[in-house]
Amino acid sequence: MSNINKEINRRRTFGIVSHPDAGKTTLTEKLLLFGGAIQVAGAVKSNKIKRHATSDFMEIERQRGISVATSVMGFKYQGLKINILDTPGHKDFAEDTFRTLTAVDSVIVVIDVAKGVEEQTERLVEVCRMRKTPIIVFVNKLDREGKDGFDLMDEVEEKLQLNVRPLSWPIGMGQRFQGVYNLYERKLVLFRPHGKQQEEEVIEFTDLKDPALDKHIGESAAEELREEVRIVEEVYPPFERQDYLDGELSPVFFGSAVNNFGVKEMLDCFVEIAPTPLPRPTEERTVRPEEEQFAGFVFKIHANMDPKHRDRIAFLRVCSGKFQRNTNYLHVRQGRKMKFSNPTSFMASKKTVIEEAYPGDVIGLYDSGNFKIGDSVTEGEELHFKGIPSFSPEQFRYVNNADPLKSKQLNKGLEQLMDEGVAQLFTREIDGRKIIGTVGALQFDVIQYRLENEYGASCSYEPVNLYKACWVSSDDQTALKEFLQRRKRDIAKDTHGNLVFLAESAWALNMAQENHPKVKFHFTSEY
């Protein structure tokens, strides 16, 4: 087996998605703990311990306790290299999450046992389903009272439209929670609150009829477990790895991330069944990981990772070949060669310079403003990776400069934050006023906060009454010209100079579409 194939087979790159507060950041932290990547878990929300969760490294996240930026973390486990992309659960940051999902090969969906499937999770899973991304479900917080296991499975099947197959099953929950039975390995794992899961607490049971089971968990719990496992085996399809890889079947695990319980079972199964780096579609052809030539794409840009050094980092997913430091590569959109002297890999906010990277890896490239989201970098072939959208925003405000002496800083800050994909900036053609459009309201706070803290600029907002912004194009130049002339006051340009129609209401949008049949209206920029 060639070296590159060996490296590809060692890699697993996945994203964690969930609703806010389902325990995603805690789960990420516990996975890092098993990988030996961190020595101690920081209590995320406790102020007594100032070690904040490793993956929430931006100041505004610490204040709000929600993951705003997607972080990338790598660790080694059982000889494999595992890359986790933690995504913001908050719906206002869905766009960042959608883009991150283009860079992973599989996904773990975290569900809170008490709240069940929440709306935000539905939207994200839909994206994974469209792409046939393999999904593992982790039901969290079993140390609290919650929904019955079977009811929850029904809810997951119904709301997320996933076919599920439990590979572990809880023994009681809340006060009665005693552990999980690992159906995948036929082992009983006993729960000790806040225990470091020691080896002796895992007991192998090839046969649940064994009377020793009653000794460990009590007669009634043992009876209940036998009955429930019998139902699981009868009702759900047998687990076939290929069905999971095809996105047709989702294994389910139960546990309590905060108590570090049930996490190892899931991780052990994950490393065994999860896909190695997958091929990626480009407009030209499908790029396969084992190809000789390096190719990758930028799915995220982060300005000011270190506020002391105005640095921007472009996150690049390696899709094929081997990436090497200080080698000339082609920046496809700009059509020019670039080399990177300090490409980095991440452990949340800790960065290390790397010499090489393989398919599945996510590397950070220091960037002085050359990259945009969706850019391809290759050894010379002109490739354009597909499926990295910007969505049509739904919330709008005029942005005004609150300090005339700092207009240069404001413009620079806005430009860089827009490149990150935090929001979109439209400049009205008629009067040159700037409008920020976002998918969620929380983004406005983040922009204001970051402009002030990272660029020393202050802005104020003013309401603007808009329903939608959509990109317009037409094969008929005369028709487009006429449309632009007639709707002059509703036309703006985005930061890339593309034409955008700002519709004041749903009615206005319908009218424009009816009156100008030759003009196309697009709701993602990826048309």
Helices 149-159 and 219-235 pack at an angle, to 10 degrees, of 30
Residue 163 backbone class (left: φ over 0; alpha: ψ -120 to 50; beta: rest): beta
Range in 63-67, 169-173, 175-179, 513-517 with the lowest mean pLDDT: 63-67
Structure-model confidence comparison of residues 93 and 98, the more confident one: 98
Kindly provide the residue ranges of all beta strands, DSSP E only, lying in 98-242, ordered along the sequence: 106-112, 135-140, 164-166, 168-171, 179-182, 187-190, 202-204
Q: Is the pLDDT of residue 397 over 90?
A: yes
Q: Does domain 395-522 have CATH number 1.20.1250.20?
A: no
Residue 48 has a pLDDT of 34
Q: Which of 386, 360, 373, 131 is nearest to 281 (CA)?
A: 386
Return d(Cα 488, Cα 92) in angstroms, integer.
31
How do beta strands 312-320 and 295-303 pair?
antiparallel
CATH class of 280-378: alpha beta
Return d(Cα 390, Cα 475) in angstroms, integer.
22
Instruction: Determine contact, residues 418/404, Cβ cutoff 8 Å.
Output: no
Domain ranges across the chain: 3-73+90-178+237-273, 280-378, 395-522
Instruction: Determine contact, residues 46/59, Cβ cutoff 8 Å.
Output: no
Range in 123-127, 289-293, 444-448 with the lowest mean pLDDT: 123-127
Residue 41 has a pLDDT of 46
What sign has the CA pseudo-torsion 163, 169, 174, 176?
A: positive
CB-based contacts of 158, cutoff 8 Å, min separation 6 = none
Q: Which of 339, 357, 344 is nearest to 289 (CA)?
A: 357
Range in 163-177, 187-201, 280-294 with the lowest mean pLDDT: 187-201
For 119, half-sphere exposure in the C-beta direction (CA atoms, 13 angstrom radius) is 3
Rounded to a whole number of angstroms, the distance between the first and last alpha carbons of the chain is: 40
The length of the chain, given as a count of residues: 527
Average pLDDT of the residues of the chain: 82
As a CATH number, domain 3-73+90-178+237-273 is 3.40.50.300
Whether the model pTM is above 0.85: no
In this prediction, residues 391-404 reach a mean pLDDT of 85
Structure-model confidence comparison of residues 298 and 212, the more confident one: 298
Specify the DSSP class assigned to residue 277.
P
Give tens-digit pLDDT for 96-146.
Answer: 677 788 889 999 999 988 888 887 788 778 878 877 889 999 999 888 888
Q: Do domains 3-73+90-178+237-273 and 280-378 have the same CATH topology?
A: yes
Give tens-digit pLDDT for 224-240.
Answer: 888 898 998 889 999 99
